[in-house]
Amino acid sequence: MTEEQKSKAVDATGEEQKQEFAIQKIYIKDMSFETPNTPDIFSEKWEPNISLEINTAGKGIGPDTHEVVLTATLSAKIGEKTAYLVETQQAGIFTIRGLNEEELSHALGSYCPNILFPYVRETVSELVAKGGFPPMLLSPVNFDALYAQHMQSMQQKNNKEPQPDPVH
């Protein structure tokens, strides 16, 4: 898909509605790098336990304009000692119009994070290398699968919530 995709759709009134997706800006919202056990950690045998947590959040910031934030938290531990901890929030502002609610949710929960992830990968790699550690290249993430899992868990949660008793 190109940076800006336009196609035609029909809205609820039957009128032709233009669909549009455009990247307005990509930026680092926040990032941190901690190495609490340096320099001692450099003398340890490098067999780290790596943990990666990824979260996304989105919010509307104007008509047809949305901010999506992809947060990645990566930690490397040797035994109980933390070698490093990296957290980065990569954000983007996107113009999205002409999509129904389900399509918009999918775009914000999957498509936008897919666009932001290479920036997260680069930031993490550079911070780890500048911290004096061996390269850390994050594997690709299937945001479509993560989004589908999230939607399934939300549906299960909604189905399990107790329903109020009808008033007679």
Percent of the chain whose pLDDT exceeds 90: 74
Question: CA 98 to CA 104: how far, in whole Å?
Answer: 9
What separation, in Å, do the N-terminal and C-terminal C-alpha atoms of the chain show?
54
pLDDT at 18: 86
Element (H, E) at 129: helix 112-130
pLDDT at 167 over 70: no
Q: What domains, with CATH codes, occur in the chain?
A: 20-137 (3.10.420.10)
pLDDT class of 76 with cuts at 50, 70, 90: very high
pLDDT at 1 over 60: no
**Minimum mean pLDDT among 89-93, 103-107, 119-123, 156-160: which range?**
156-160
pTM of the model: 0.80
pLDDT at 120 over 50: yes
pLDDT class of 116 with cuts at 50, 70, 90: very high
pLDDT class of 162 with cuts at 50, 70, 90: low
Q: How many CA atoms lie within 13 A of 9 on its CB side?
A: 13
pLDDT at 78: 96
pLDDT at 72 over 60: yes
pLDDT class of 155 with cuts at 50, 70, 90: confident
pLDDT at 159: 78
Q: Is 2 exposed, middle or buried (0-12, 13-18, 19+ CB in 10 A)?
A: exposed
Question: CA 50 to CA 20: how far, in whole Å?
Answer: 39
22-28 average pLDDT score = 97
What is the chain's mean pLDDT, rounded? 88
- Inter-helix orientation angle 143-160/112-130, to 10°: 120
Phi and psi, residue 21, nearest 5°? -135, 125
